[in-house]
Structure 1
């Protein structure tokens, strides 16, 4: 909301060029297509634009309310816990923080332990996912 003021603030000048370009080939194609279209409409092979627009107007139009929220990522949350991006980031963050603090407190042996635990968890998840695909 703008507050009233006695001073006039300068607005930036807009630079807007509308180029004029004459393309004879494009104009010839447009003329030819419109001529062929009129000829086909006169022969009755295609319907005119007015008839098509009237047919669309006569049909019941759908409501646009809520059309954008149907495809929103909020409603289409992934069902698998590990397929969401936020959970994956949290797991990576916890792994990095755990490895850094473990290295600072207990030394390099913690990195090997975390590596083996991570490989074990990845193998279990892989086999569970593989088993789930086999049942389908």
Structure 2
């Protein structure tokens, strides 16, 4: 039985290797056909189906312009700010930090004050969560 946790645990990685098959005859045939296509395209006897020139030897065409089209990190739509794990961790950290320094400066009374503050925060949270939403919003 797994207990609920705030921290994410790592899942085991699976080993997956895809074997490659090398056929020297097929490789030579592909090189010959690409060379013949280049020669025919240079003579103007062969074009691609969409009418653009075709250069088989270039690999950078897919990367060209990719960084210029980057729009930044996308904002999450409709995600509750308090539902994220990072925010929950931050609240727990601040709660622990406040309890340690409060215990040092005020003594054991700080736990009573913090319990009241947590109860008040939970009441406000549940009030807004359970409040019926208006139809025009």
**TM-score with structure 1 length normalisation?**
0.41
| Larger relative helix fraction | 1
**TM-score with structure 2 length normalisation?**
0.41
